[in-house]
Amino acid sequence: LSRYDLLIIGGGINGLGIAADASARGLSVLLVEKDDFGGGTTSASSRLIHGGLRYLQYGEIGLVRESLRERGLLARQRPHLVRPIELLIPTFRGVPPPGWIIGIGLSLYDLLARDPLFARSRPFSMGEVLRREPGLTREDLRGGYLYGDGQISFPERLCVELMRETLAAGGEALNHTRVAALRKQNGRVTGADLRDELTGREWQVEAELTINAAGPWVDAVNRLLPAPPPRLIGGTWGTHLVLPPRPEGPRGPLYAAARKDRRPFFLLPWDGRLLVGTTDVPFEGDPDRLAVQEWEVEYLLSETNRLFPGCRYSVTDVQFTTIGIRPLPASAKTAGAITRRHFVVDHSRLHGSGGLASVVGGKLTTYRSLAEEAVDRALRILGRPPVPCPTRLMESSPAVHELEREAASLARRVGVPDEAAPRLARLYGRRAAEVLERIGDRPELGRPLAPSCPALLAEVAHAIEQERARTVEDILCRRLMLLPPPEGAAEAVHRVWPESGAG
């Protein structure tokens, strides 16, 4: 029977953030994830690292300040994944909120941010708006505002980085491993029964403290206890569409109010495509049974076509959809008004069950500060002396163009065309060298995965040997970030990795 200081349930951004922080602070850690790292809510987000301009409307100044600070840290520590962007907010006659309110909100946002990496906001005349977005509807258009925020191209890759940081600091992280039961002794949670979902192997582990970081599944995990605590999560679900870019469509990121229900939604150029989202609907059921509704697709397509009438997107243009549940605290408020703040709930205070804490809420943007708070709390619960949090002080990374230059010079040395370098630098950061060095020993790994596919066979070997990918989908969708995988990619994985069978 293995024994750990901390058992973390859930390998999304929050669980992995906690695992990396806790192992760096000297705790023995096991993280388990029932599917793949980052495959839950984390991969269904709008992929923004943002201060949360909208939260100002609900007076959440503290949350905005925290999010803006985290945005700056992330963009400096992981610039290959997080980049500053400028979003346009077009304003329309008769559509609230009026331009002057947006202007006041943005001035406050600038004041709270004071970060030279991100552009300050500025008002735009109608002419300036149309020069930037010539395809935008002119109907009732008045002008707009431009403001700076951040975009994370692949939160899935951030999860992989945190998983590797956990392992490097002596922790353990297992994907495709489900907590099937929580073990309790003398009123304390003492560990869990685990099941490997791919091999069927079952075993038990003991932990001094279990942290339930299962996002929207937090209540389902707590229901594994003989006397479950009251419901903690009152999530809302959100859907995104991924569409092909069109010349008549948006040229840059856009944040607008939907005509139908006045809800804000984003149009975001992303990975050569257009990401459109999202809906925000209260969710009560089983998170594993969530499915995109027809009305959501129609709503998002019609709002996009209304803003950019030349696009004429239809259902057949949708390349794929994502859906996820915001793991918000249970609340009687309307979906948009529920706080986006996070809480770490110590169950010994909640219902007298020691040895267990649950993470409620949290955004992608604030995973690091959530992890800091959770580990500070864990040290107190475990009765250990405080240890300073290392992630706040993590050094800045070289800029992306430097990473690209390094990758290009190494690519040349191993006979790979320079064009592969920008992608490798953006996906792997400083670790692009680990991928390219494999090609030195096995030149055949320098070939692309499939015709006209940007990924190299070396990345498959790297995903399996260094990044704990265990299925073909893990490799293609959450390591190589081929969304959706191009034709022939799965077959190529089978050739590099015959043991994968049917995957």
- For 484, counting Cβ atoms within 10 Å of its Cβ (0-12 exposed, 13-18 middle, 19+ buried), the class is exposed
The candidate with the shortest Cα–Cα distance to 411, out of 430, 437, 429, is 437
> Which residue in the shown chain puts its C-beta closest to ligand FAD?
12
DSSP for 369-386 reads HHHHHHHHHHHHHTTPPP
Contacting ligand FAD (CB under 6 A), which of 90, 171, 324, 354? 324
> Token match 């552009």: residue?
119
User: Other CB atoms closer than 10 Å to residue 375's CB: what's the count?
Assistant: 28
Judged by CB under 6 A, does residue 307 bind ligand FAD?
no
Q: How far is the CB of 170 from ligand FAD (least distance, A)?
A: 21
- Part in contact with ligand FAD (CB under 6 A); list of ranges 32-40, 255-263, 330-338, 445-453: 32-40
Distances (CA, A) of 278 to 21, 39, 85, 117, 503: 31, 18, 19, 27, 32
Q: Between residue 264 and residue 293, which ones bind ligand FAD under the rule CB under 6 A?
A: 278
Judged by CB under 6 A, does residue 311 bind ligand FAD?
no
Q: How far is the CB of 377 from ligand FAD (least distance, A)?
A: 16
- Part in contact with ligand FAD (CB under 6 A); list of ranges 27-35, 106-114, 142-150, 399-407: 27-35
Judged by CB under 6 A, does residue 325 bind ligand FAD?
yes
- Residue pair 33/175 in contact (Cβ under 8 Å)? The answer is yes
Judged by CB under 6 A, does residue 77 bind ligand FAD?
no
What is the C-alpha separation between 447 and 439, in angstroms, rounded?
9
The candidate with the shortest Cα–Cα distance to 434, out of 452, 454, 448, 414, is 414
Q: Between residue 179 and residue 198, which ones bind ligand FAD under the rule CB under 6 A?
A: 179
> Token match 């500060």: residue?
369
Judged by CB under 6 A, does residue 35 bind ligand FAD?
yes
- Part in contact with ligand FAD (CB under 6 A); list of ranges 104-112, 118-126, 209-217, 290-298: 209-217
Q: How far is the CB of 25 from ligand FAD (least distance, A)?
A: 19
What is the C-alpha separation between 58 and 54, in angstroms, rounded?
8
Q: Which is nearer to ligand FAD, 92 or 283 (CB)?
A: 283
The candidate with the shortest Cα–Cα distance to 325, out of 269, 358, 278, 368, is 278
Judged by CB under 6 A, does residue 34 bind ligand FAD?
yes
Judged by CB under 6 A, does residue 368 bind ligand FAD?
no
Size of the site for ligand FAD (CB under 6 A): 39
Interacting residues toward ligand FAD by CB under 6 A: 9-15, 32-35, 39-42, 44-48, 50, 178-179, 213-217, 221, 238, 278, 324-327, 362-365
